[in-house]
């Protein structure tokens, strides 16, 4: 099980674990994706830089303030991290953000205004909680935060998505499920499948947040002990 402590060092370790989980489940994003987590009682967040998801270790994660000044650690980071800061400023309910360019979510994003349909039980996590965003080459990166609004997921056209959630654990599992749900959407739609009944979606969503997300995190964390021993060696 993960350490019980919740100090900053432990948060860095959990961010590294989150990145490894995403990598193992097909959500790697080359060196361009980011995982971040808010620092409690500070206008700051821990973030990851330019590296593959399975390269991340706690010491490679740095603390940035909301002006993107590195205040702890060393980090070669994307200027696109400015939308993390903006989301944290706008959304006090958000404590973690995952930005990813995973394959199926990126394919789905190529369709203007398309959101994840309710083709699989895991899709219910995003029922009524999605937005879309299209960059025109002129908008500032931070404008995606406005498009996200009060939702959990924003799908960025021809790009990927951003998950904003109440905890690192939840954001990680939601990102995993966004990729799976996008694949189900594309394949079910192509085969003539239909979506889940609305009442089942509503009931399933509540149960998935209560039971699926915490247990999914724990199960994937335990798998890392076998697949990523170098993480635990740190």
Cβ–Cβ contacts within 10 Å for residue 42, how many?
A: 12
Closest-CA residue to 95 (of 43, 26, 187, 168): 168
Residue 87 · residue 148 · CB < 8 Å: yes
Percent of the chain at pLDDT above 70? Answer: 96
Number of domains in the chain: 1
Closest-CA residue to 176 (of 20, 10, 12, 5): 20
Please give the pLDDT value at position 32: 87
Q: Give me the mean pLDDT over the 103-132 stretch.
A: 96
d(CA 34, CA 136): 22
Q: Which domain holds residue 176?
A: 8-225
Query: What is the C-alpha radius of gyration for the chain, rounded to an integer number of angstroms?
Result: 17
d(CA 224, CA 13): 12
Task: Tell me, yes or no, whether 91 lies in a domain.
Answer: yes
Task: Tell me, yes or no, whether 185 lies in a domain.
Answer: yes
Please give the pLDDT value at position 115: 97
| Between 141 and 115, residue with greater pLDDT | 115
Task: Tell me, yes or no, whether 233 lies in a domain.
Answer: no
Please give the pLDDT value at position 85: 97
Task: Tell me, yes or no, whether 204 lies in a domain.
Answer: yes
Closest-CA residue to 19 (of 40, 44, 46): 46
| Between 79 and 61, residue with greater pLDDT | 61
Say whether pLDDT at 5 is over 50.
no
Confidence of residue 138 (pLDDT cuts 50, 70, 90): confident
Enter the tokens of residue 92.
Answer: 């006090």
Task: Tell me, yes or no, whether 73 lies in a domain.
Answer: yes
Enter the tokens of residue 86.
Answer: 């903006």
Please give the pLDDT value at position 234: 66
Cβ–Cβ contacts within 10 Å for residue 175, how many?
A: 29
Number of helical (H) and strand (E) elements in the chain, helices listed first: 8, 8
Indicate which CATH number applies to the domain containing 111.
3.40.225.10
Task: Tell me, yes or no, whether 232 lies in a domain.
Answer: no
Mean pLDDT of the chain: 92
Task: Tell me, yes or no, whether 2 lies in a domain.
Answer: no
d(CA 134, CA 200): 31
Say whether pLDDT at 9 is over 50.
yes
Q: Give me the mean pLDDT over the 112-126 stretch.
A: 95
pTM for the structure as a whole: 0.93
Task: Tell me, yes or no, whether 150 lies in a domain.
Answer: yes
HEC readout, 62-82: EEEECCCCEEECCCCCCHHHH
Say whether pLDDT at 1 is over 60.
no
Say whether pLDDT at 207 is over 70.
yes
């Amino acid at each position: 099980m993960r350490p019980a402590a919740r100090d900053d060092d432990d948060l860095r370790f959990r961010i590294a674990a989150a990145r490894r989980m995403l990598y193992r489940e097909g959500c790697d994003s080359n060196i361009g994706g980011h995982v971040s987590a808010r620092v409690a009682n500070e206008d700051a967040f821990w973030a990851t830089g330019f590296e593959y998801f399975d390269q991340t270790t706690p010491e490679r994660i740095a603390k940035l303030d909301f002006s993107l000044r590195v205040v702890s650690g060393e980090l070669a980071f994307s200027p696109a991290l400015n939308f993390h800061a903006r989301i944290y400023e706008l959304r006090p309910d958000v404590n973690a953000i995952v930005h990813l360019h995973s394959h199926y979510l990126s394919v789905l994003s190529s369709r203007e205004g398309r959101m994840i349909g309710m083709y699989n039980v895991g899709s219910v996590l995003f029922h009524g909680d999605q937005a879309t965003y299209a960059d025109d080459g002129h908008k500032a990166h931070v404008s995606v935060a406005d498009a996200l609004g009060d939702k959990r997921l924003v799908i960025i056209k021809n790009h990927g998505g951003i998950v904003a959630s109440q905890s690192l654990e939840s954001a990680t599992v939601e990102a995993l499920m966004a990729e799976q749900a996008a694949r189900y959407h594309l394949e079910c739609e192509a085969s003539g499948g239909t979506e889940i009944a609305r009442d089942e979606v509503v009931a399933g969503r509540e149960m998935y947040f209560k039971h699926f997300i915490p247990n999914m995190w724990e199960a994937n964390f335990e798998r890392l002990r076998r697949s990523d021993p170098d993480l635990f060696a740190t």
